Amino acid sequence: MSESEQTVIEVKDLVKRFGDLTVLDGINVTIPRGKITVIMGGSGCGKTTLLRHLIALHQPTSGDIFVDGKNIVGLSEKDMNDVRRKFGMLFQGSALFNSMTVGENVAVPLKEHTELSPEIIRIIVRVKLELVGLTGFEDFMPYQISGGMKKRVALARAIALDPKIVFYDEPGAGLDPITASMIDRLILDLSKKLNITSVVVSHEMKSAFRIADEIIILHKGKVLQVGTADEVKNSKDSYVQQFIHGESEGVIPFKQTSEAYLKGLLST
Amino acid sequence: MKELAGSIGQSLLFVLAGVARLWELGAAVASYTFLSFFKKKVIPRETLFHQMVLIGIDSTAIVSLVGASVGTVLALQAAYSLKTFGALMYTGSLVCVAMARELGPLIASIVISGRIGARMAAEIGTMMVQEEVDALTTMGINPIRYLVVPRVLALALMLPCLTVIVDVMGMLGGWAIGVTGLGINSTLYIAKSVDALCLKDIYTGLLKSFIFSILIALVSCHQGLSVSGGADAVGKATTQAVVISIVLIIVVDCLATAVIYYALPT
């Protein structure tokens, strides 16, 4: 494969400002095809904002994003919807439609984007639910199932149209460790079985090391490090080390010195 | 003085911006509706019918009750004044004309903006908060087409029907009071009513209710779609949806009445 074929998404000099606040400050990353890329960083480092740019829910202040070599910045809604056909997205809170059953939720993209008959759609829905281990749950309502199951239904919905790329926003958030690791297994499984490119936004180190082919660490709107799990583990960067080991004291101070504290209090 | 002018200008701009956003939403809804005549699957039918049942059938009882009460009250109050002129038998004409022209559409719209408008704003607002609208967008499904269009159309179809129910129930309420409480002869009451009522009274009333239905649906959906944040924002949007709808209904009603009965040739 040539280099351009190995890259699915390329982000160039991406800058995003909300008013005076610069959330993304010149991001350059490439997402390799068929691999699992994990975007990591502390809360508020801009990782979710970056993800929302990749699926064009936000428009950047400046910079370009190429999906399969096509710039998606400033694309018309119709053209963007064609690009979105390649995407599946798992939202942090699952984002299932609460007024519909599990089966209807998975069927939404199929009904909207294909001309398939209801019988065929029912079969596809069953197959997708089986892929995430939820056979027989078609007629449940979202509020009747657990958080982990909701995530899996949302995943089934995300892969309903056989996307090439699936985005995951904090897949393990709000789940117990066992369920979270089950979701991780599912991500690994799907990307192998269906040859899907996965982009995972997460702040959980354990999960990231388990699934990642490549890890991108963001800090204060900039890319701090890109590399495999081992490269990140052995990084010399002190912030990366602090982050990996989850220490409250480090380059980012938790406590201030008493003078600095006093100064801060009196400055306003 | 300068500050006053500034604040007036600011509120004016605020109102204009709101009108522009509503107009934009309305234009999008109109173009999708137009498109649906030529293309399949533009309007999600299940949602449309579901909303029609919710708005039409499920509101029939409350709308009937309110309509009948208004008709009754109107007859009682009208009789009080009419009696002094010895014109008690005209109670029927007054009730019927007032219901058909003004009170039917107005009462139906206000009840529905509280019942359905609030519901639409809260529902779409919650969907915004829970990223369901973002999920639609990432699936390549336009939220306006998928959520707003069926709601606007359902309300535009059902509100005139509900208005007819309010009209009829109001007239029945007036008749009941006229015959039992005021002692007017039933045949006379009905004959006077039919004499007074003309077709224009009815269709202008229905036209008004159609305009109000579009206003309620657009305002409520727009409020829902502009929610960002949490439960607090949903609550605010819901209140705003009802308040803005009712204010707009009454203002537009004034304008429509002026145009229909005074500006246009009869």
What pLDDT does residue B251 have? 95
Tokens of B249: 């209904």
User: What distance in Å separates residue A242's CA from the closest CA in chain B?
Assistant: 31
Find out whether B70 and B173 touch, Cβ atoms under 8 Å. Answer: yes
Residue B141 touches partner A, C-beta closer than 8 Å: yes
Buried residues in A130-162 as b, exposed as e (16+ CB within 10 A): ebbebeebbeeebeebeebbbbbbbbbbbbbbe
Find out whether A25 and A221 touch, Cβ atoms under 8 Å. Answer: yes
Residue A51 touches partner B, C-beta closer than 8 Å: no
Tens digit of each residue's pLDDT (9 = 90 or more) over A151-187: 999 999 999 999 999 999 988 888 888 888 888 998 9
d(CA A75, CA A80): 6
Chain B contact set for A89 (CB, 8 A)? 135, 138
CB contact (8 A) between residue B131 and residue A92: yes
Tokens of B255: 């304008």
Residue A168 touches partner B, C-beta closer than 8 Å: no
| Among A residues 206-245, those touching chain B with beta carbons less than 8 Å apart | none
What pLDDT does residue A78 have? 87
Question: What number of C-beta contacts closer than 8 Å exist between A and B?
Answer: 44
**Per-residue tens of pLDDT for chain A, all 268 residues:** 455 568 889 999 999 998 888 888 889 999 999 899 999 888 878 888 899 999 888 899 999 999 988 899 988 888 898 888 889 999 988 899 998 999 999 999 999 989 999 999 999 999 999 988 888 899 999 999 998 899 999 999 999 999 999 999 988 888 888 888 888 998 998 888 888 999 999 888 888 888 999 999 988 888 888 989 888 888 888 888 888 887 776 666 666 677 777 887 887 6
CB contact (8 A) between residue B138 and residue A84: yes
Query: Residue B125 — pLDDT band, cuts 50, 70, 90?
Result: very high
DSSP helix/strand/coil, B12: helix
Tens digit of each residue's pLDDT (9 = 90 or more) over A147-161: 889 999 999 999 999
- Whether residue B231 is predicted with pLDDT greater than 80 in this model: the reply is yes
Chain B contact set for A57 (CB, 8 A)? 134, 137-138
**Mean residue pLDDT across chain B:** 93
Instruction: Name the residue facing A95 among B41, B135, B142 (closest C-beta).
Output: B135
What pLDDT does residue A249 have? 64
Q: What is the mean pLDDT of residues B86-101?
A: 91
CB contact (8 A) between residue A87 and residue B138: yes
Look up the ipTM and state it.
Answer: 0.84
